[in-house]
Structure 1
Amino acid sequence: MTQQGVRWTADQVLALAPDAPSRKAGSKLGVAGPWSEAGSTGEGAVWGLCKGSGSKPYQTIVDIADVAGPAYKCSCPSRKFPCKHALGLLLVWAGADGTVPDGGEPPAWAEEWLAARRKRADAKQGSAAAPAASADPEAARKRAEKRAERITAGATELEQRLSDLLRGGTASAEQMGYGLWEETAARMVDAQAPGLAARVRELGAIPSSGPGWPVRFLEECALLHLLDQGWLHRDRLPDGLAATVRSRVGLPAQAEGPPVRDRWVVLAQYDTADSRLSTRRIWLYGTESGRTALLLSYGAAGRAPALALPVGLALDAEVTGYTGAGQLRVELGEQFTAPAPTAQRPPGVRPEEAAARYGEALGDDPWLESWPVTLAEVIPTRAQNPRDARDARDARDARGTRDARETRDPGSWQLVDPVTESALPLAPSATSRPGLWRLIALSGGAPLTVFGECGHRGFTPLAAWPKDSGETVSLC
């Protein structure tokens, strides 16, 4: 960070925004005009006073060197973290135009907050070092056995319901309505199997969801049946796959084993949300281990998760992996230095190898939606449906070039390797994101390196590196 003489980019700052309105409002404050008495310690703290609508300016401070990502404090009434003032302050700091000088002493209000944070961190470290009170292992074993019995009863009931459904034919699923599925999901919640409940809700939303729904419905029924059978016969599975089944059913997983210290590059960060929970996914790449890892952070519905790491920075830190076959999820441990910009990136592969890696990962986890891969030297290209191309040729012959041009379907998008001409189609959800057009603009018809998630619905680009550039461009 500042101690290395390099500041963040505007993209890295805006990647911290909890939502689009905050990103827009923070950008408006990312100029010198509203700010006064701004400064930075050069060791991870940035502060400043922002003129607002009231008589007193808002006191804003950011601790960038925090192990869980930047921490924020602002006297404004906003409940968003970071608020627009924190984003604006970081944008002004990133501009490096002298508005936020390095090496200053924080004012009293900023120093008070920093001191309190240091005190809490020391207390937390001390309590972690103290020997934990030994829990009753026998009581824990009995609780685990009782929950396993409930899940087994729920999985057995679910198997019966799936059998009854398929015996009556998939046409009946469209007539059942969503109420029956919600009632079945509630039964799985009572059985303490939230993973089964979530899949039942997803299954109930498929009928009448659009063309081809019977195929998607049968596929999801098969995966749900496979998960049921995996749980009911978990004692016959290899340890890694059995751990994956337990996690997919909804039992809490734990980070175990020795921590891995590496210089971790933050490749991508994005949020997903439902009516109950907000989930933040942060992809990391270890420059020494060559390992790709996933950090997960959760927040209550409507609130952004606490953990935030700017894309394109690298941090020297330890991570501990979770149990399960092919598991990429890790828990962030001790951080030894503040995050700093880096030009390092993961090595890329060709599209056919990316698809093969996803296929191999399915062997460890059949319920896997996608797998992280980096594609090297690919070009975003519009793909035209062969049937539409034939219709266009027929129309050209019948009515001329102008009419034929009007009948062409714009088609979907894909990432093409210009050497092998192999390609990966983009996922339908990716084609509706603004990141697609940013990717196209970055490429300009030239090859570039792209990181994303490869799954059965296609490839979702999350970050890109233009040729001869080390700067990570977020596409989320």
Structure 2
Amino acid sequence: MNQQGVRWTAEQVLALAPDDASRKAGSKLGTAGPWSDAGAGGAGAVWGLCKGSGSKPYQTIVDTTGPAYKCSCPSRKFPCKHALGLLVLWASDEHAVPHAETAPEWAEQWLAGRRERAAGREGGDAAGAQTPKSADPEAARRRAARRSARITAGARELEQRLADLLRGGLASTDQAGYGLWEETAARMVDAQAPGLAGRVRELGAIPGSGPGWPVRLLEECALTHLLDQAWLGIDRLPEPLAATVRTRVGLTAPADGPAVRDHWTVLAQYDTTDGKLTTRRIWLHGRDSGRTALLLSFGAAGRAPQLALPVGVVIDAEVTPHAGAGQLRAELGPQFSPPVPAGGPPPGGTVTDALAAYGRALREDPWLDAWPVTLTDVIPVPSQDGTWQLAAADGAAALPVSPAALGRAGLWRLVALSGGGPVTVFGECGHRGFTPLAAWSAETPGTVPPGTVPPETVPPETVPLT
């Protein structure tokens, strides 16, 4: 993109779609037919007019350094189908969206507003570093103490609930129904401990969930008991672990670590939902720092999260980590240049290395479900029971694919990419197995413009599996 340089691929663009309907509609609008006055600026802006059902075309503009979107259509989705269509056209046809020195006035107004707000934030940060906070620290301390007392009361109540459950026997809990669990979860919400409420809801979903559910229920009860006891004795814990416990019970950990500027590869992006809230997870890897970071974004009431980054690009940006032992969550800060294509997968290791990394992470956060790892030279192979494994090419070890990943289209894309040969796979390694999120094959060249890299050194393309 820089001047007439690198542009995203259509697949990277469509990965930003908030849902399948937007993805399909955006694909249809990714042709030159409905567009006029389209162009792209060197600072990462892409704009165009899209003919709609009305007399006036929709004014669509995208700042790819965000990315951020603006469209005059009434859609509440971010990005809307017009923004997706414009980006697909920009990615696939540089003649239809040529480079332009200046943007039209309607686009420049929005871009100028973004630049002013960014400058204001930077100025505010500088002023904040010199000006003490105006909030009353004593009032804040009293509020924190009251909430802590409520959480403590909730943790003790939950301990009593777990004791009653074990005293009555786990095998009969599937007959009690979900109502009692939901009532207990509501009590944890009243205690201002949403993390405990979430764990209670997970416990309520286990009884009758399939063969072996009493064992799974006992395991999760033990972890919940451990979290309760950790909170009740939090004053005796080392501060990094105490920060993790506070996060696990539902107290938000601030992004207060030192900002890390790096060239961050966007490895994966996927959404999960509980019916009320959609959570978007974006995994980044720092080229120079070697750090892995997790960006979280949320959307309520059926709206998609606004933060979206195309998988397979590199952004020059700052991220600020949150507090807590073993926590990878971070907040995305300022970006200093438009995204460019990634140069290949992050450094990886063997199956044994992945298991060791997850084990080390569990020492710092016993409630951790999974840990991000990159596996090199693994081959997806089927098992006799219908499941899949990622086996080392030398046959030394293998990791089972998690049940959640079985049946997904991404698993079959991984199998097709491999073709029986070794691939590099990034994903989440946990007690339920390995969830593949992105893959690279030495046989699949990346989409780098001709003439910039000799063909024999073109990096493998990132293939998203989500």
What is the TM-score of this pair, normalised by structure 2? 0.93
Instruction: Find the residue that maps to 2:59 and give its secondary structure.
Output: strand
Q: Distance in 1 between matches of 2:10 and 2:34?
A: 18
Q: Does 1:16 align with 2:16?
A: yes
Instruction: Find the residue that maps to 1:25 and give its secondary structure.
Output: helix
Q: CA deviation at 1:42?
A: 2.2
Q: Distance in 2 between matches of 1:356 and 1:15?
A: 32
Amino acid in structure 2 at the alignment position of 1:367? W
**Which among 124, 129, 152 is matched to residue 127 of structure 1?**
124
State the match for 1:106 in structure 2.
103
Q: Which moved more, 1:230-239 or 1:101-110?
A: 101-110
Instruction: Find the residue that maps to 1:462 and give its secondary structure.
Output: strand
Q: CA deviation at 1:226?
A: 0.6
Q: Distance in 2 between matches of 1:474 and 1:70?
A: 18
Please say if residues 2 and 102 of structure 1, whose CA atoms lie closer than 8 Å, have aligned partners that are also in contact.
no
Q: Distance in 1 between matches of 2:84 and 2:6?
A: 18
What's the % identity of the aligned pairs?
71
Amino acid in structure 2 at the alignment position of 1:24? K
Q: Distance in 2 between matches of 1:308 and 1:337?
A: 16
Instruction: Find the residue that maps to 1:453 and give its secondary structure.
Output: strand
Q: CA deviation at 1:4?
A: 6.6
Q: CA deviation at 1:276?
A: 2.5
Q: Distance in 2 between matches of 1:421 and 1:23?
A: 41
Q: Which moved more, 1:27-36 or 1:449-458?
A: 27-36
Q: CA deviation at 1:132?
A: 5.3
Q: Deviations over 1:82-141 (max 9, x none)?
A: 011111100110013410001242222212222222233333333333335432222211
Q: Distance in 2 between matches of 1:4 and 1:102?
A: 6
Q: Does 1:424 align with 2:399?
A: yes
Taking a change above 3 Å as real, the CA distance of residues 97 and 117 of structure 1, as seen in their structure-2 partners, is: closer
State the match for 1:7 in structure 2.
7
Please say if residues 40 and 47 of structure 2, whose CA atoms lie closer than 8 Å, have aligned partners that are also in contact.
yes
Q: Distance in 1 between matches of 2:60 and 2:163?
A: 59
State the match for 2:350 in structure 1.
350
Q: Which moved more, 1:189-198 or 1:331-340?
A: 331-340
Q: Distance in 1 between matches of 2:298 and 2:240?
A: 25
State the match for 2:437 in structure 1.
462
State the match for 2:331 in structure 1.
331
Q: Does 1:436 align with 2:408?
A: no
Please say if residues 4 and 99 of structure 2, whose CA atoms lie closer than 8 Å, have aligned partners that are also in contact.
no
State the match for 1:48 in structure 2.
48
State the match for 2:71 in structure 1.
74
State the match for 2:86 in structure 1.
89
Q: Distance in 2 between matches of 1:162 and 1:47?
A: 58
State the match for 1:400 in structure 2.
none
Structure label with greater radius of gyration: 1
Q: Distance in 1 between matches of 2:2 and 2:417?
A: 28
Taking a change above 3 Å as real, the CA distance of residues 435 and 109 of structure 1, as seen in their structure-2 partners, is: same
Q: Distance in 2 between matches of 1:30 and 1:4?
A: 19
Instruction: Find the residue that maps to 2:240 and give its secondary structure.
Output: helix
Q: Distance in 1 between matches of 2:333 and 2:158?
A: 39
State the match for 1:304 in structure 2.
304
State the match for 1:473 in structure 2.
463
State the match for 1:368 in structure 2.
368
Please say if residues 34 and 51 of structure 2, whose CA atoms lie closer than 8 Å, have aligned partners that are also in contact.
yes
Instruction: Find the residue that maps to 1:3 and give its secondary structure.
Output: coil
Q: Distance in 1 between matches of 2:331 and 2:120?
A: 21
Q: What RMSD, in angstroms, separates the aligned Cα atoms of the two structures?
A: 1.5
Please say if residues 465 and 473 of structure 1, whose CA atoms lie closer than 8 Å, have aligned partners that are also in contact.
yes
What is the TM-score of this pair, normalised by structure 1? 0.91
Q: CA deviation at 1:293?
A: 1.0
* Unaligned residue ranges in structure 2 (runs of 5+): 446-459
Please say if residues 241 and 325 of structure 1, whose CA atoms lie closer than 8 Å, have aligned partners that are also in contact.
yes
Q: Distance in 2 between matches of 1:83 and 1:296?
A: 21
Instruction: Find the residue that maps to 2:3 and give its secondary structure.
Output: helix
Q: Distance in 1 between matches of 2:134 and 2:181?
A: 42
Q: Distance in 2 between matches of 1:186 and 1:84?
A: 39
Q: Which moved more, 1:130-139 or 1:452-461?
A: 130-139
Q: CA deviation at 1:330?
A: 1.3
Please say if residues 344 and 462 of structure 2, whose CA atoms lie closer than 8 Å, have aligned partners that are also in contact.
no
Q: Does 1:170 align with 2:131?
A: no
Amino acid in structure 2 at the alignment position of 1:451? F
| Alignment: residue pair count | 448
State the match for 1:390 in structure 2.
none
Q: Distance in 2 between matches of 1:286 and 1:3?
A: 25
Q: Does 1:192 align with 2:192?
A: yes
Taking a change above 3 Å as real, the CA distance of residues 64 and 97 of structure 1, as seen in their structure-2 partners, is: closer
Amino acid in structure 1 at the alignment position of 2:292? T
> Which 4+ stretches in 1 moved above 4 angstroms?
none
Amino acid in structure 2 at the alignment position of 1:46? V
Q: How does 1:17-32 map to 2 (within 5 A)?
A: 17-32=17-32
State the match for 1:395 in structure 2.
none
State the match for 1:35 in structure 2.
35
Q: Deviations over 1:15-50 (max 9, x none)?
A: 110111111111111111221111111221111111
Please say if residues 2 and 338 of structure 2, whose CA atoms lie closer than 8 Å, have aligned partners that are also in contact.
no
Instruction: Find the residue that maps to 2:118 and give its secondary structure.
Output: helix
* Unaligned residue ranges in structure 1 (runs of 5+): 386-410
Taking a change above 3 Å as real, the CA distance of residues 298 and 191 of structure 1, as seen in their structure-2 partners, is: same
Please say if residues 287 and 344 of structure 1, whose CA atoms lie closer than 8 Å, have aligned partners that are also in contact.
no
Amino acid in structure 2 at the alignment position of 1:474? P
Q: Distance in 1 between matches of 2:294 and 2:394?
A: 31
Q: Which moved more, 1:220-229 or 1:70-79?
A: 70-79
State the match for 1:449 in structure 2.
424
Instruction: Find the residue that maps to 1:163 and give its secondary structure.
Output: helix
Q: Distance in 2 between matches of 1:288 and 1:307?
A: 24
